[in-house]
């Protein structure tokens, strides 16, 4: 029987339940001999986050099977190395849809359907179905939202009831709470945590482990006070202090006895090996290089919109002993001529144009891509970034002056990017794009092939538009290399410029950032960071976000 570990949070949102869950999973993983399933329960009524604006909910993470899921799955996969499946993300929308379908099919035999017991029972059945399907050693279940929210009540009630079915010795409850610093007294305050734990207990859940989140280490006096007030052993209260790099969290938990605590609660021997993990952390702490990469998009007001891109850069930098700073460029400002592309990209070593949808900021991105190409600045285009790189090349090299995407201009005379035929009659937007892992055949001798060192690769996709096959020939004749194609040679998956023309100009229709791991960085990001190190043109560069109001702030990707 699997051991279940529930992770919940209180006081306020944004405490880091996702990274805490991922960190616990990494400790349980050992050398990969333990099978771990991570389930995320989200209270919102959307079936999935796929139709949400990234500013609303952060990035949409896509799994191999094509399911659009919560961004916390990125943490699970990067830390633990698991590859999630669609039914591991349970939203209230999915839950209620499933219940209503069963009711319509007559499976409740005419009973009145209610939150209790039916919705709660359905949650438990869902968890058990996942366990029976995969037979894991550990089931980690993160309860989204904050204790006290109406929208996650059924998940918490299911977590309370589960021990009656599988035995209390097979369940551990881990809870994140918050201790604010009251600056006029200069001490951490425990009252919010006390009331938080009281609320959780009123729901019938008595936490086994408490992670006390704070900007400061938990002093012994405060730990003792909190232990007394919430009636928990002191050694089961973990100080969840803010860290410079989220990959320090598993080590921090380990050093405070998290593994021994869980071993005791679950009556299970847990062996941990963090040698490789610690070696990579040492690279981060003692970098040999310092580079700046510009992320040029239109969702820059919320950095979580590009969470996987940030972490893919971190992962690559860690393996190359390089500190990767990020300069955020809002391409709408360039498009509106609020700031010039030259000023925006001043003192950067590399450029990323990430994925996105719609027309806002597009011309700004195209200006950025042209600047990167003409000035030989290492460039990586992701999804929309590939499409816009193709448009830029068609306009300025192939002399197709009004080339565009039909997404932006349906009447363009040169539809370099066009919607997939199978997408043209799609009405429903959720989960209907080209989603999930697809194969691409790589061309021997290309830079992309050398980075992957494989003939066939599978990367994850999330898009509706493709490079129009009618323009493949003219693009290639003018020097654009198609370094990866779909098996039927219809779809362009990777492009690049020859290395004697540009040090690193690569783009992909996929989202390789979604498969980056702390212990195994994504090849294209590794290649970009390596190219930036070799291509550094300036020194002592400030890393700043330039805004129209002339306010600037220093930002490092290692602190995101």
Give the tens place of pLDDT for each residue, 128-177. Answer: 999 999 999 999 999 999 999 988 999 999 999 999 999 999 999 999 99
| 259 and 296 part of one domain | no
Q: Rounded to whole angstroms, how far apart are CA atoms 369 and 481?
A: 16
Structural domain count, the chain: 2
Give the tens place of pLDDT for each residue, 9-49. Answer: 999 988 999 999 999 999 998 767 889 999 999 999 988 88
Note the pLDDT of residue 109: 86
| 459 and 339 part of one domain | yes
247, part of any domain: yes
Of 31-35, 210-214, 227-231, which gets the smallest average pLDDT? 31-35
| 243 and 296 part of one domain | no
Q: Rounded to whole angstroms, how far apart are CA atoms 297 and 356?
A: 8
The domain that holds 137 is classified in CATH as 3.40.50.300
The confidence band for 546, taking pLDDT boundaries of 50, 70 and 90, is very low
Specify the 3-state DSSP secondary structure of 508. strand
Residues 6+ apart with CB under 8 A from 279: none
| 292 and 269 part of one domain | no
Residue ending a domain, choose from 222, 241, 273? 273
Residues 6+ apart with CB under 8 A from 430: 46, 47, 48, 50, 51, 68
Note the pLDDT of residue 369: 97
| 414 and 481 part of one domain | yes
Note the pLDDT of residue 552: 32
pLDDT averaged over the chain? 90
The whole-model pTM stands at: 0.88
* Residue 324, token pair as written in the block: 């990767």
In three state form, how does the secondary structure of 96-151 look?
HHHHHHHHHCCCCCCCCCCHHHHHHHHHHHHHHHHHHHHCCCEEEEEECCCCCCHH
Give the tens place of pLDDT for each residue, 452-508. Answer: 999 999 999 998 899 999 999 999 999 999 999 999 999 999 999 999 999 999 999
Of 99-108, 273-282, 296-305, 427-436, which gets the smallest average pLDDT? 427-436
Percent of the chain with pLDDT over 90: 78
The domain that holds 518 is classified in CATH as 3.40.50.880
Note the pLDDT of residue 126: 97
The DSSP-derived string for 15-75 is: S-HHHHHHHHHHHHHTTTTS-EEEEEEE-SSSSSGGGS-HHHH-PPEE-TTS-EE-THHHH
542, part of any domain: no
281, part of any domain: no
The confidence band for 300, taking pLDDT boundaries of 50, 70 and 90, is low
297, part of any domain: yes
267, part of any domain: yes
490, part of any domain: yes
More confident residue, 205 or 560: 205
The confidence band for 423, taking pLDDT boundaries of 50, 70 and 90, is low
| 148 and 217 part of one domain | yes
Residue ending a domain, choose from 234, 250, 273? 273
Residue position matching structure tokens 């089931």: 139
Q: Rounded to whole angstroms, how far apart are CA atoms 143 and 447?
A: 43
Q: Rounded to whole angstroms, how far apart are CA atoms 279 and 283?
A: 7
The confidence band for 50, taking pLDDT boundaries of 50, 70 and 90, is confident
Residue 314 phi, psi (nearest 5): -60, -45
Of 67-76, 292-301, 311-320, 346-355, which gets the smallest average pLDDT? 292-301
Contact between 174 and 19 (Cβ < 8 Å): no
- What is the CB neighbour count within 10 angstroms for residue 282? 10
Tell me the average pLDDT across 244-263: 95
545, part of any domain: no
| 350 and 413 part of one domain | yes
| 235 and 298 part of one domain | no
Tell me the average pLDDT across 274-298: 93
| 292 and 404 part of one domain | yes
540, part of any domain: no
| 130 and 264 part of one domain | yes
| 261 and 302 part of one domain | no
| 260 and 323 part of one domain | no
Note the pLDDT of residue 428: 54
Residue ending a domain, choose from 273, 306, 337? 273
Domain of residue 33 covers 3-273
Residue position matching structure tokens 């009331």: 195
Catalytic residues: 383, 511, 513
Note the pLDDT of residue 425: 60
Tell me the average pLDDT across 231-244: 95
């Amino acid at each position: 029987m699997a051991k279940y570990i529930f992770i919940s949070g209180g006081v306020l949102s944004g405490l880091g339940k996702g990274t805490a869950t991922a960190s616990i999973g990494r400790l349980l993983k050992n050398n990969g001999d333990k099978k771990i399933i991570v389930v995320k329960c989200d209270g919102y009524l959307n079936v999935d986050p796929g139709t949400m604006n990234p500013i609303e909910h952060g990035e949409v993470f896509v799994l191999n099977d094509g399911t659009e899921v919560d961004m916390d799955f990125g943490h699970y996969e990067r830390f633990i190395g698991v590859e999630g499946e669609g039914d591991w993300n349970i939203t209230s929308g999915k839950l209620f849809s499933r219940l209503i379908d069963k009711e319509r099919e007559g499976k409740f035999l005419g009973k009145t359907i209610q939150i209790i017991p039916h919705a709660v029972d359905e949650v438990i059945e869902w968890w058990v179905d996942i366990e029976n399907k995969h037979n894991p050693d550990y089931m980690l279940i993160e309860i989204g939202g904050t204790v006290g929210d109406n929208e996650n009540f059924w998940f918490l009630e299911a977590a309370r009831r589960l021990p009656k079915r599988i035995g209390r010795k097979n369940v551990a409850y881990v809870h994140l709470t918050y201790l604010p610093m009251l600056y006029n007294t200069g001490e951490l305050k425990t009252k919010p945590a006390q009331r938080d734990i009281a609320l959780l207990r009123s729901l019938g859940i008595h936490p086994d482990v408490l992670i006390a989140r704070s900007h400061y280490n938990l002093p012994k006096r405060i730990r003792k006070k909190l232990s007394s007030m919430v009636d928990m052993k002191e050694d089961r209260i973990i100080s969840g202090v803010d860290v410079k790099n989220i990959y320090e969290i598993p080590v921090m938990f380990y050093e405070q006895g998290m593994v021994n605590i869980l071993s005791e609660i679950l009556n299970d021997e847990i062996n941990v090996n963090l040698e490789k993990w610690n070696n990579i952390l040492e690279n981060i702490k003692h970098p040999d290089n310092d580079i700046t990469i510009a992320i040029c998009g239109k969702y820059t007001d919320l950095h979580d919109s590009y969470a996987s891109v940030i972490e893919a850069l971190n992962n690559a930098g860690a393996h190359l002993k390089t500190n990767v700073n990020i300069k955020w460029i809002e391409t709408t400002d360039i498009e509106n001529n609020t700031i010039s592309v030259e000023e925006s990209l001043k003192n950067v070593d590399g450029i990323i144009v990430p994925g996105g949808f719609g027309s806002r900021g597009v011309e700004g991105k195209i200006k950025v891509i042209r600047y990167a190409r003409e000035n030989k600045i290492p460039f990586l285009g992701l999804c929309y970034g590939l499409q816009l790189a193709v448009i830029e090349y068609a306009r300025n090299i192939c002399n197709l002056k009004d080339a565009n995407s039909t997404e932006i201009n349906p009447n363009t005379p040169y539809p370099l990017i066009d919607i997939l035929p199978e997408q043209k009659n799609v009405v429903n937007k959720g989960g209907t794009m080209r989603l999930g892992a697809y194969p691409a055949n790589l061309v021997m001798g290309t830079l992309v092939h050398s980075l992957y060192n494989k003939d066939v690769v599978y990367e994850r996709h999330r898009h509706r538009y493709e490079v129009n096959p009618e323009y493949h020939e003219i693009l290639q004749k003018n020097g654009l290399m198609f370094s990866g194609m779909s098996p039927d040679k219809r779809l362009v998956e990777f492009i690049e410029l020859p290395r004697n023309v540009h040090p690193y100009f690569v783009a992909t229709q996929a989202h390789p950032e979604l498969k980056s791991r702390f212990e195994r960085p994504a090849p294209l990001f590794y290649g970009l960071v390596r190219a930036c190190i070799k291509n550094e043109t300036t020194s002592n560069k400030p890393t700043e976000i330039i805004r129209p109001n002339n306010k600037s702030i220093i930002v490092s990707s290692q602190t995101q």
